[in-house]
Structure 1
Amino acid sequence: MSNAQGIVTPKAQRLYSRAQECIRLHRSTEAETLLQKCLREAPNFTDAYTALGMLYCDNGQYSKAADVFRQASGACPSCTQAFVLPLARALCQARQYEQASSVLDQWKRSAALSPSLKGEYDRLRQNAQFGKYAVNARPTDTPINMGARINSVYDEYFPSVSIDDSTLVFTRRTNGVDEDFYIAQRDSCGGWFIARDMGSPPNSGMQEGAQMRSADGHYLFFMRCGNRSENGWEAGGCDLYFSYTKDAGWSQPVPFGATINTPGYEGMPALSCDNKELYFVSDRVGGYGGKDIWVSRFENGLWQVPENLGPEVNTPFDETAPFIASDNQTLYFVSDGHPGLGGNDIFYSRKKKDKWQRPENMGYPFNTPFDDVSLCLSADGRKAYLASNREGGLGNMDLYEVRMPETAQPEPYTYVFGIAYDSLDKRRLNYAQIEWSDAETGEKLYHYQSNRGDASYMASVLLHRKYGLHVYRVGYADYNDTISFTTAHVLAPDTLNFPLLDFNYSPPLYDTLLARFYFLRSNVQLSDSDQAQLKAMIAPYLEQTRVEFFVNGYTDDSGTPAINEELSSARARTLASLLGAMGIGDDKIHIQGWADADPIAPNDSEEHRQQNRRVEIVLRKP
């Protein structure tokens, strides 16, 4: 066999074919040995150089890869152009940015390249320039491997952490094929217990990855791959699903409809803390090339048609793994299209006046020339959990934790938790709408809803602002208030409950027994001491306009019904006349004689009958 560089012997071709089979079976060491033998047999075999260089790149041995591509250029001078881009890429990933720039500067054919190769050429130039700056700039903190309780010989990525920082959920790919969710809890010393399979649901025999739990803990959004549908439209290879809390676990996952899912790729969801915006990754038509980040907004009970985040965020290459911070203004994502350190890097962008700003690279060694592929933040925004295949891991892709640079942290915010409930019977009220606006300008800032389960809500709001609150629900009067927060509470959120008043409510009337006055047999007059006591009791209420007095007279059972009725009424009139003499209007005095009804003691002795010969004055006020 021959190629443009000379003869490839049958032995070299056999060695090359065996090496390709070893690469397919992930037997890297054997493949390396076979390719080295192949090149000794056929020093001009360019395909073997390419395979060996890519093998080193796949194993993170970028310096070795660069040496192989240099050797290829020397062995086949006429093929030098074919190895310029792989060589520059390997040099960038080996952190040899000066040499990468030199290789690209010496290449004179960039203007004549195809658009795709021209884009790759320009990207490598930007990476080389940025890399030279990044490694000499003020370093960020170095990510720390999370250890063997979390990481394994398999790949771990797409971490997410609960608001109280006590539960970590991530994706693990076992045997290079099966993706499932694993969960770990913190122990009493602040470390992590061994991660366990999250179970079914949401895990299944298909591929589940990149989960995102809502801030209130009630919803789970994730990606499931390997989907097919009868009509070929509603489900593609990877689609977005959601599940909600049910009893002690999760409901069976449900796919989003065709507004979100297409026959293309949809995955890696990120939900805003108010559950109103869903960021995700798709290669659908209308993007800027490769995979882009899109957002759908929940309005009028439906997820709306997704919008592309635009060219400030998306590039002709891949943007993946979005994470929206709880300030709803800072987006973190992964890209191999923006200037970086050589592999996939993590970036952040801030939203100002509804427009995403130019992304910033998280810097070195937060990012590395290796692939840093996903990130989430702790609730306070000061710590990040990320996935990377950098050197020193337990497997190919491991989880790390690192302190966030101050410049890349979200805007200061706090969490607020509460419920909406009926102010009278204390029933919890789901579907109450909770609007937060700027108290000075009236601009609507946040919109939450008490959930369908326990009627709770979880809000994330910026500090040092005065908010106007408007809470409303069908059948209830609106609730309005103003509030502000100056201190962040994320592990133990501020509590703000909303008591709502039923529309049919009328203020209750409260009756209070002020006094009882007792009478001798057949007597209807009060003694002087009783009259003095009555005046003292009534005095505090003389200036109150919303009070009424009910004067109820009673007798014992010794007389006839007619006599008892007249006697009880006469006693009530006696006290009513005294109230009138104090200045209380007739319209506020209600008189009733009840004869021997409603005794407070049995009529079996003179002592007990004395208790039943009485007048009660009841005060009624709202």
Structure 2
Amino acid sequence: MRNVILLALLLFLTVFAYAQQQYSTTNTEAIKNFALANQSIDEHLYAEAIQQLQKAINADPNFVEAHAQLGDMMHLQKNNKGAVEEFKKVIAINPEFSRAVYLKAGDMEISEALYQDAIKHLQKYLTYVGITDQNRFYAQKLIKDCIFATEALQHPIAFKPINMGPNINTANDEYSPVSTADDKTIIYTRQIALNEDFYQSTKVNNEWQKAVYLSDKINTPNYNEGSESVSQDGKFLFFTGCNRPDGRGRCDIYVAQKKGDDWGRPFDLSPPVNTGGWESQPSISADGRTLYFVSNRKGGYGGYDIWKSTLGPKGWGEPENLGPNINTSFNEQSPFIHPDDSTLYFCSNGWPGMGNQDLFVSRLSKDGKWQIPKNLGYPINTNGDESGLSLTANGSYAFFSSNKLDGYGGFDIYTFELPLELRPRMVTYVKGFVSDAKTRQPLESAVEILALDDNRAVYQDYSSADRGDFLATIAAGKNYGLNISKPGYLFYSENFSLVGHTSGNPFNITVLLEPIEVGNKVILKNIFFDTNKYDLERESRAELQKLIEFLALNPTVHIEISGHTDNVGNDELNQKLSENRAKSVYNYLLSGKVDPARLVYKGYGKTQPIAPNITDEDRAKNRRTEFKITAK
């Protein structure tokens, strides 16, 4: 999508000039066919114009105006190789015929990976006086592309694309693949007879199964569905719908929610996300609260820019442009935010690249600003158009589509291992199932994951009502607390340390929620103390607040808070330590306005182990804080 407006203007000026000036030939046959070609161009009969221009050149091979016009027509018909040949003939016949031909030649030569020739012609163009600031900027930008591409060709990166096979790809076009965090489901677009619909494949025994039509609740026979993003748990699908009767603009962003084995009907996101303009290509963050998308709305830096909107208590907030470290005066499209929520992949024809659209990655710095993007390099990027890619949650593999490789026909979906320097931060996922401890029936429960260093929620959602399942991605480098709650039940807590985590191995848990009954207990796994101390650490606050909320929601419940130790050390000291730790929790609850008549605390020392005191891991289990229902 290289500066179409500029080239269209140049083409118009060329046609106008050729029609008005004294020609470089006196050959009547050449002039007659050139005039016929101009008439055909006016009537948009470009194939006929090309034939007439070729006849003019056959009559006089040095007819420079005909070569220039034919070069324009070749480019218009996407024959860039032919356009380059004609522009070079113009320069060879008359180097001073038109300064514009040097800019056109350089532009087309980049499309054909003729970078050194392009540099020579672009530098020649810049020697002319009186060129516009816009054209000077564009020529300088193209030279930067040539310099980058020349260097990239000399330092190729590892790239071994693998076709995803006949269960995914067909003789039709397949593209825009996205996968869930557990890499068990892939959703993509298939185009059949100009109609775009979504298809889905699931992985069984490490093999992708035959893709199936996603849903007639989402796919339509009369409108195209594409450019999708699936939430990490596979329960929400954001996608682009164009010219639909319920739309607000030419293209809008829609969202649909999974309902059992099918999907609910999608709805159009309300303003300020969708407008009367063009909104497309959504990408949803791992926590489901930040939506990245592409728009040509006012306030941007160029044609298409990447924006984001954050979900708040009143819905999606006013979109924010990602700024000049991402967006340029050209086009940025196809954003993909990785589940680490700090690595963004996108395509652009504004940043230095191999030509046309290239793929880039930008990382979010600690101050919350996007860094200058890095080109993914050659041969991931080429002199053609690279339109976008997505990654697996572990960041090791990428998906993309191409019609340039040996496939099954048209665009096929491929995967490749991403070089280490281009990968996002390490993430893993928590996959759980919540059910009633007595009946084993699945429960729809509130699930919250907190970063314990600042008690910030990184995931808030509900387990599904039909299966009781949930899935959340979390980034390495922090400690996390997990809380699961449902009215009428005791809450559940767990913690995960991903400090120094170097693998993508998931956490799989089965949670049995106990009903609120006298005698039932909860281990408070996110209550922390220093060794042999009883002062509560700051990371304990989120768990304690959860306990305060539980008591507020259940005002008749009374509890005993108990402290426990392992069998290491002096029994008397262990008894005292366990009692003081329980008292610390008791005092915190009192500071939270909990009625003291509802609370008691007690230390049990080593007397109530829940695991043998043999290994370090089992002894850690015995060092715990609990609460028990004493009345309801």
TM-score, with structure 2 as normaliser: 0.69
Separation of aligned partners in 1, 2:370 and 2:167: 38
Which residue is 1:416 aligned to? Answer: 430
Comparing 99-108 with 4-13, greater Cα deviation is found at 4-13
Which residue is 1:202 aligned to? Answer: 218
1:97 aligns with 2:115: yes
Deviations along 1:351-401, one digit per CA (max 9) or x if unpaired, are: 122221111111100111110101011233211111345466666644332
Contact 1:414 1:487 in 2 (8 A): no
| 1:212 partner letter | S
Which residue is 1:332 aligned to? Answer: 345
Name which of 372, 380, 383 aligns with 1:358: 372
Name which of 126, 136, 152 aligns with 1:134: 152
Name which of 392, 398, 406 aligns with 1:378: 392
| 2:218 partner letter | P
Name which of 265, 273, 277 aligns with 2:290: 277
Which residue is 2:75 aligned to? Answer: 53
Separation of aligned partners in 1, 2:488 and 2:318: 32
Separation of aligned partners in 2, 1:271 and 1:150: 24
Deviations along 1:526-579, one digit per CA (max 9) or x if unpaired, are: xxxxxxxxxxxxxxxxxxxxxxxxxxxxxxxxxxxxxxxxxxxxxxxxxxxxxx
Deviation at 1:97, TM superposition (A): 1.7
Which residue is 2:33 aligned to? Answer: 11
Deviation at 1:89, TM superposition (A): 1.9
Q: Match of 2:364, SS?
A: strand
Which residue is 1:252 aligned to? Answer: 265
Deviation at 1:80, TM superposition (A): 2.9
Which residue is 1:449 aligned to? Answer: 461
Q: Match of 2:387, SS?
A: strand
Alignment of 1:192-591 (within 5 A): 193=210, 197-204=213-220, 205-227=222-244, 235-300=248-313, 302-353=315-366, 354-390=368-404, 397-420=411-434, 428-430=442-444, 432-438=446-452, 441-444=453-456, 446-451=458-463, 453-454=465-466, 455-471=468-484, 479-485=492-498, 486=501, 488-489=503-504, 493-497=506-510, 505-507=517-519
Change (3 A) 1:274 1:497: farther
Deviation at 1:169, TM superposition (A): 2.8
Separation of aligned partners in 1, 2:481 and 2:202: 38
Q: Match of 1:172, SS?
A: strand
Change (3 A) 1:239 1:404: same
Deviations along 1:228-249, one digit per CA (max 9) or x if unpaired, are: 56xxxx6100000111122432
Contact 2:490 2:514 in 1 (8 A): yes
Deviation at 1:469, TM superposition (A): 3.6
Contact 1:381 1:409 in 2 (8 A): yes
Change (3 A) 1:228 1:76: farther
Contact 2:479 2:495 in 1 (8 A): yes
Change (3 A) 1:51 1:422: same
Deviation at 1:139, TM superposition (A): 2.3
Contact 1:110 1:118 in 2 (8 A): no
Contact 1:92 1:131 in 2 (8 A): no
Change (3 A) 1:66 1:278: same
Q: Which structure has the greater CA radius of gyration?
A: 1
Separation of aligned partners in 2, 1:390 and 1:436: 45
Contact 2:293 2:335 in 1 (8 A): yes
Separation of aligned partners in 1, 2:34 and 2:406: 35
Comparing 330-339 with 180-189, greater Cα deviation is found at 180-189
Separation of aligned partners in 1, 2:487 and 2:203: 42
Change (3 A) 1:164 1:10: farther
Deviation at 1:23, TM superposition (A): 7.5
TM-score, with structure 1 as normaliser: 0.70
Change (3 A) 1:497 1:166: closer
| 2:90 partner letter | A
Alignment of 1:33-182 (within 5 A): 35-41=53-59, 43=63, 44-45=65-66, 46-55=68-77, 58=78, 62-75=80-93, 77-109=95-127, 112-146=130-164, 150-151=168-169, 155-175=173-193, 177-182=194-199
Q: Match of 2:379, SS?
A: coil
Deviations along 1:71-123, one digit per CA (max 9) or x if unpaired, are: 23345645432122221122222222222222222223578443432332232
Deviation at 1:458, TM superposition (A): 1.4
Change (3 A) 1:445 1:247: closer
| 2:519 partner letter | P
Deviation at 1:49, TM superposition (A): 2.1
Which residue is 1:2 aligned to? Answer: 19
Separation of aligned partners in 2, 1:426 and 1:149: 36
Change (3 A) 1:447 1:198: closer
Contact 1:463 1:488 in 2 (8 A): no
Deviations along 1:293-338, one digit per CA (max 9) or x if unpaired, are: 1111222262222211111111111111111112121111111111
| 2:509 partner letter | L
Separation of aligned partners in 1, 2:482 and 2:41: 67
Contact 2:72 2:83 in 1 (8 A): no
Separation of aligned partners in 2, 1:356 and 1:183: 33
Change (3 A) 1:2 1:118: closer
Contact 2:340 2:425 in 1 (8 A): yes
Deviation at 1:138, TM superposition (A): 3.9
Separation of aligned partners in 2, 1:101 and 1:474: 69
Q: Match of 1:415, SS?
A: strand
Deviation at 1:51, TM superposition (A): 0.9
| 2:198 partner letter | F
Q: Match of 1:496, SS?
A: strand
Contact 1:273 1:460 in 2 (8 A): yes
Gaps of 5+ in 2: 1-17, 522-629
Q: Match of 1:106, SS?
A: helix
Deviations along 1:422-468, one digit per CA (max 9) or x if unpaired, are: 66666655361403113xx3352612211464453211112353223
Separation of aligned partners in 2, 1:414 and 1:276: 19
Deviation at 1:153, TM superposition (A): 6.0
Separation of aligned partners in 1, 2:171 and 2:439: 56
Separation of aligned partners in 2, 1:437 and 1:187: 33
Q: Match of 1:368, SS?
A: coil
Q: Match of 1:47, SS?
A: helix
Comparing 318-327 with 481-490, greater Cα deviation is found at 481-490
Separation of aligned partners in 2, 1:31 and 1:396: 29
Change (3 A) 1:189 1:304: closer
Change (3 A) 1:325 1:268: same
Give the root-mean-square deviation of aligned CA atoms: 3.5
